[in-house]
Chain A
Amino acid sequence: MNTIEQQLWDYIDGNLDEFSKKTIEEKIESNAGIKTQYEELLKLNSAFNALDLDEPSMSFTRNVMESIALAPAPVAMKTKVDEKIIYAIGGFFIVSLLSLFGYVLYNSNLSMPKLGFNVTLNFNLDQYITPTVLYSFLFFDLVIGLVFLDQFLRKKFAQK
């Protein structure tokens, strides 16, 4: 599909590299047939450039503005996603993981018999894991879940 006409169009469109550009320029100069074809395409290109755009009805802008008046105002994505919420959720999970890690660590017996190293961390967490703590934990999870659901529904609504 690399006919002389295609090369001439590429030359007119300015899509050729320096080498190809010089080659086609030489062909135009040396070959009368190619020169005629080039001049014809150049005129055709000018005619295409002069194409008219169609005009919609006079009430077009008004109609669009009337239809958008019923739609919710668009909001930038940056304001849609509040960074504080992301940091709060991230922080919560980091604290949870660290707490779990601490719990496991304090309930383990660290012993290295060969080195005579024996540490028993007898840290009883049961006294802290009360129903109130558990309910608070679940309540916080529920709040986060609702925030996510709210954002998800808002996004769905905005897309419609």
Chain B
Amino acid sequence: MEQNTTDLALIQKVLKGETDQYALLVKRHQRFVFTLALRFSKNREDAEEIAQDCFLKAYKALGTFKQTAKFSTWLYTITYTTAMTFLRKKRLDTTSIHDEDTILQLENQTSSFNANGYERQDSHVFLNMAITQLLPDDAAIITLFYKGEQSLEEIGEALHMEPNTIKVKLHRARQRLKEKLQYLLKDEVKELL
């Protein structure tokens, strides 16, 4: 019965004082928020910290949530800003998150998976590996579009960008992801597809 309760109904309960109901909202969205945080931080510990901070911020600001919008979109906006603030504070590797060199380092680390005769792994493993090699924005857009059930407008709202920019970025991100898969799987990419 709890699974059928909508996000909005749960929010209303929390606002009426049933704060323990917030746990259901956390359980419902934690995987996605954590994955999104991981796309930016590239590190499980940091991603968990970002995701926890995000749920805490969302709880404190729950009274300001406009209940005409989707809770998930609002939550992803908080995740994006929290992740950006976290990365700015931490100054990961003292390089920009948009720096291509950072990605090249990751490519080198995973190049051992490329050896001929390497036992074929589950396609999901390679796909997840390829997505971690994308730029944070690209990885976030792919995740929001395919797993977050978000429209281009909603992704734009969450990432503070125009829907047309998101559309172009999504196209480029898919191209890059395809290239990363080809790099990782060589000839086996056709079997995956």
Contacts and interface: CB of A to CB of B under 8 A. Distances in A.
Nearest to A6: B171
Given A44-B174, A74-B63, A159-B61, A51 B22 contact: no
Nearest to B168: A1
A93 to B, nearest CB: 27
Contacts of B19: 68, 73
B51 A60 contact: yes
A140 B65 CA distance: 34
Contact of A51 (B146, B167, B168): B146
Contacts of B51: 56, 60
Contacts of A1: 168, 171
A64 B15 contact: no
Interface residues of A, number: 37
B171 A9 contact: yes
A63 interface: yes
Given A51-B143, A53-B35, A73-B17, A68 B22 contact: yes
Interface residues of B, number: 48
The 9 residue pairs across chains A and B that have the minimum distance between CB atoms: A74-B62, A43-B193, A56-B34, A53-B31, A74-B63, A76-B15, A54-B35, A64-B55, A53-B35
B176 interface: no
Contacts of A51: 124, 127-128, 131, 142-143, 146-147
- Provide the main secondary structure of the chain A interface: helix
A40 interface: yes
A77 B64 contact: yes
Interface of B: 14-15, 17, 19-20, 22-23, 26-27, 30-32, 34-35, 38, 44, 47-48, 51-52, 55-56, 59-64, 123-124, 127-128, 131, 142-143, 146-147, 152, 167-168, 170-171, 174-175, 177-178, 192-193
Interface in A91-129: none
A15 B32 CA distance: 25
A53 B146 CA distance: 11
A29 interface: no
Nearest to A157: B60
A80 B177 CA distance: 47
Nearest to A56: B34
A63 B174 CA distance: 35
